[in-house]
Structure 1
Amino acid sequence: MPEKILIIQTAFLGDLILSTSFFHAVKMEHKESEIHVVVNLGTESVLDNNPDITQIWCLDKKKIKKNPFAFFQFIQKLRKEKFDKVYSPHFSYRSSLLSFFTKAKIRIGYKESGFSFLHTKLVSRPKQGPHEVEKLFALLFEPYDYPTGRERRPYLFPSAEEEASYLTKKNKLIKNDSGYILIAPSSLWETKRMPEEKFVSVITQILRKKEETIILIGSKADQAIEEHIFRLMKTEPLELKQRERLLSLIGKTSLKELMVWIQNAKAIISNDSSPIHFASAFNTPTVMVYGATIPAFGYGSLSDKHKILEVNGLGCRPCGIHGGRVCPEAHFRCMLDQNPVRIFEALEEVMKP
């Protein structure tokens, strides 16, 4: 019987994308094993076609919060699989409980996780310093043995269907052969979002000084941001042919379609959010804008060509691991002091051959 390994990663979408390099590493170390992964319901599509994964288990967090009995039903399903080993790269109390109740003999997790005593082997996870993929690799390797190069970057596998959808939409939307630059103006956390006015300034510079089409990306929840940007753009002194090169796919792509758009982009500009990690998977040149959070948390770009834009000298940064809804100091200088000229210059730099 092949060894059965469970990996529990029910964090945000960006964390799951970064974890795919860990899934690959586990599979390479245990080539004959079955690799099962527990993810947060709604994020699982980014793992489609992943050859490293045998089975995906979707945990409905909203459901189990309302009905604790559903959590124990989920545990029972996992226990029936009789896993030999569990890796828990998520550090919530719930993940530690899931790991423990599988009854696997080997359960590896972080010292800093909730209910860490339920693991059989503990690994330190520093809050700042190493990149997130190195924190993940620590569960599997000694530091001197961490994978390098391509194996650090995420593994995403869009299908032929998404490729075909991309080509159809691209041919309809883009009218020149100069390629396109993606801009991701949103984030789940408000203090990680650069104000739309700043993005408008960057967009205007690109439209005036470069030939590429600009495409906004995001989910349906970001449509208010899209509307604000287009409203502000109306006052910018641009020629009609320049304005025509600003398009939007916000709310118009699935996660898997978005992969292909990012894969084929000339570059991407984004806040500290999941599009950065999609870009890392395909080595897309990246400009990353930091506000409430800091690069030392370990979620920066893994693309070979990338630039980080942040406002230094603010004693209030970081104001939280995820940022927050409002600036606790009520000045929001970490984003209001961002310089659009510097962002454009960084874009020029990462786009150099």
Structure 2
Amino acid sequence: MVSPVKVLILQFASIGDVVLSSPVVRCLKQQLPNAELHFCTKRDYKSIISYNPYITRGHYFDDNLYNLIRQLRAEHFDYVIDLQNTFVTGLIKASMGSRSYSVEKQSFRQWLYIGWKINALSEQHVVDRYLATVQPLGVENDGQGLDYFIPYKDEVEFAWLPTTHQNDFVAYAIGGQHMTRRLPTARMIELCRKINYPIVLVGDKKDRKAGDEIVRALGEKLIYNACGHYNLNQSASLLQRARVVFSHDTGLMHIAAAFRKKIYSIWGSTTPQFGFYPYITPHVRLEAPGLGCRPCSATGSDHCPLKHFKCMNNLSFDFEVKELRTKKKNFE
């Protein structure tokens, strides 16, 4: 009997980064003989990997690094794949005593781009950089894009939605990790009015207030505020059922990409040039061109450094959602 090749994948960064790691998981499992894959991430992201059939076991970081390392060392991994390459993941790798491979970071190039607006970033999507990490193991990109697996219990039925949204709807992921990655609420209202089609707002409890403001402005016939009513997998199910998806630069955008949805991605202080745009799915980038202050951050911040927030306030909504052209109705 051939012993399994035990591989540990490290990725703690965010919901989006965990989803963007899914091609590495799939390609390793399908291309590395006898691979037994373990995925280590934050416990908050457990629901993302728990139902992935390519993952043998999940390990979760609960702010006690010593206990986590002790648990991981007991597994005796053959390889460690570090898709984050930070101080913490470096400590984990050093403690394993296994052969390791780490993603190439572009920290200096990002610094040049943010601080001096010199774009020396590679043209690679971050997924391709992740996959380059496992090339020494003979693993190649299969070109199949992202994965996201929803358990049956979390599949949202159309009948669970208001009657105005049961036949068809557009999903709008209104959240964002930081303020400068989200449209101001008044501009969200403007965008929803522009779309003029039944819209399901998707997000967590922190997004509920903005969603309620949008409902008050446009009415329940047009807007259903699902923010905070559904868990992450159920929110993913809503994206899967949507005709098209609008999203800020956030993890839900990457989940929508896993379902090959047409995505209208909205960019503020961050830019697609960092390599986190929707992967292998049709998409339109909505951003304010020609601003000398963009990008002001690689991950976003809680305020506009120049206090004008032109990247979102000046963003044009002069576009047509062609996917709605034949079914457009007036819901105002």
Q: Shared topology, TM-score over 0.5?
A: yes
Deviations 1:14-63 (A, max 9, x none): 11011111111111221411100101121110113211100000102xxx
Partner of 2:146: 154
Distance 1:203 1:46 in 2: 29
Partner of 1:132: 126
Distance 1:308 1:225 in 2: 23
Equivalent pairs counted in the alignment come to: 312
Partner of 1:240: none
Deviations 1:227-260 (A, max 9, x none): 23234336xxxxxxxx513111100111111121
Partner of 2:283: 306
Partner of 2:252: 275
Partner of 1:81: 75
Equivalent residue for 1:110, pick from 75, 98, 103: 103
Q: Say if 2:227 is the partner of 1:227.
A: no
Contact 2:126/2:276, CA 8 A, preserved across alignment: yes
Contact 2:103/2:129, CA 8 A, preserved across alignment: no
Q: Residues 174 and 127 (structure 1 numbering): CA distance in 2 closer, same or farther, change over 3 Å?
A: farther
Matches within 5 A, 1:239-250: 243-250=220-227
Q: CA deviation at 1:169?
A: 1.2
Equivalent residue for 1:218, pick from 190, 203, 208: 203
Q: CA deviation at 1:213?
A: 1.8
Q: What amino acid sits opposite 1:169 in the alignment?
A: W
Q: Say if 2:325 is the partner of 1:348.
A: no
Contact 2:287/2:316, CA 8 A, preserved across alignment: no
Aligned-residue Cα RMSD (Å) equals 2.4
Q: Residues 176 and 23 (structure 1 numbering): CA distance in 2 closer, same or farther, change over 3 Å?
A: closer
Q: CA deviation at 1:73?
A: 1.8
Q: Name the stretch that deviates more: 299-308 or 214-223.
A: 299-308
Matches within 5 A, 1:1-353: 1-60=3-62, 64=63, 70-104=64-98, 106-110=99-103, 112=105, 128-141=122-135, 146-150=140-144, 153-163=145-155, 165-170=156-161, 173-175=162-164, 178-207=167-196, 212-233=197-218, 243-342=220-319, 345=320, 347-348=321-322
Contact 2:103/2:130, CA 8 A, preserved across alignment: no
Deviations 1:297-333 (A, max 9, x none): 1111125321001111111111111011111122111
Q: Residues 145 and 73 (structure 1 numbering): CA distance in 2 closer, same or farther, change over 3 Å?
A: closer
Identity, in percent, stands at: 25
- TM-score, structure 1 normalization: 0.82
Q: CA deviation at 1:204?
A: 1.6
Q: What amino acid sits opposite 2:240 in the alignment?
A: Q
Partner of 1:123: none
- TM-score, structure 2 normalization: 0.87
Distance 1:324 1:180 in 2: 31
Q: Residues 113 and 200 (structure 1 numbering): CA distance in 2 closer, same or farther, change over 3 Å?
A: closer
Contact 1:305/1:350, CA 8 A, preserved across alignment: no
Q: What amino acid sits opposite 1:149 in the alignment?
A: G
Q: CA deviation at 1:178?
A: 4.5
SS in 2 for 1:101: helix
Distance 2:151 2:103 in 1: 34
Contact 1:202/1:341, CA 8 A, preserved across alignment: no
